[in-house]
Structure 1
């Protein structure tokens, strides 16, 4: 393959008015013996080049099929669907998403997938041979391997800089397809590498955020477990924080972020839940309930209970017994 064909480009036959391609029917059949396999959806021509790259507008092909790209797969191809306007219902293997642009969906090689776009949806579909991400020598093979192993969804609504960069890069690739100029193979090669690097960054950020999220959820779960064990022992919040090896302020930030309440409020919630249970189901004096919950002064327990529940313990018990309420939250 000479330098001018380092990348094998296919102009969109649909936009160029060519008739040489074979087009499969878009009508769904009652039953299929096999899953349709295409190079590009509806085209039966092959793409056996290891350097294959193709780009087209989402709307170019989907409009021809009433905005519904039926179930199919691409052997040996990696696909990037970048939607910037409109919505798409996407099924990629076991993943099902309803997505509003801007967002990116990746389709790994051989994945069975279908898309249903809203009318007027706008964006790009970038398709390449599965070897291209690794041949690009980007130094991010681990991220590429992960991207090519399963479907990924990256929402870009909160990442305007990445959204704009991606739109610009894909638009430049589209321009090279439409008006090839001197060095266009090299230009598209570098632009494609830039898109892949953006995807690698999105993946790395997503992976890092997921790990951080799991770490925070694990820490919160450990806090709740400690509360469940010690809520009647009048532990202070600094004591909980010390046991968890975090600062009191970090523990409070974590609780507010996940539960919308401070650590102290969560401990009080658990304490008052148990108070309500005991008042309803145990026919013991209020003072006895207070002592069981770790209060040394029943009067103080009554004040805390009223502040939290809105009525005194005795009034709560009478109302619950009268109406046969069993608030076991």
Structure 2
């Protein structure tokens, strides 16, 4: 049996994912003497996708409809936001698990040349069985190691590094599952909110308003507002702001562009508007954020989604 060495990590905690900048939180599952289980709540109670990679042993996933999926290592299991249930790892098993913010997955898929094929992974369970990943497990292990390291020790450019390695893992999942058509459990379908997020990814630099997005979706502003509140507990404007903030933070971390240049590239024609927008969402100015260092950045949550020029 092929195995992969996975770096040690602290136990997985959902609150770590909620911190600004924590797009991925990955952790090793150590060998245990007893069965362990993970309760995967429905989308009303979580905002992340879940990935399990079982390196040794047996596991099972039981959906809320009581459908049972038996898993024999080495195997990977992808659980998107619409899916809920319970994952159980038998005694003696080990591997890793990772929580990935759904918005971060959208960003990876939006930039991928195979986006059309990867997009269904946001709607369905995907299983990469042992006979499809055994030969690639060492390569997958490199990317999983990187996700653990980057989520445990945040550094400049961490989001970009995570995106690269998570993209590799997702491509392996897609290939091993039969190009997206193999064992899968349908979720809730492509919703208005999912299509809205796709449009945000394509047009967030263009300073489009909520009405513009609603028109492109072919729905009313009120319908889009209600759909976003039901699915995410955020308004459409808040989701637009989150994506803008993420891009602003990324450019402050990874480029030498001035604050004014970054603001202008994101649709802010007045530097003071960009400074006000950024400070209201993070509590600090763009300049202070750039100087604070990656560790300090990951500990503050956005304060408000209210500012927009």
TM-score w.r.t. the length of structure 2 is 0.47
Greater relative contact order structure (CA < 8 Å, 6+ sep): 2
Larger gyration radius, structure 1 or structure 2: 1
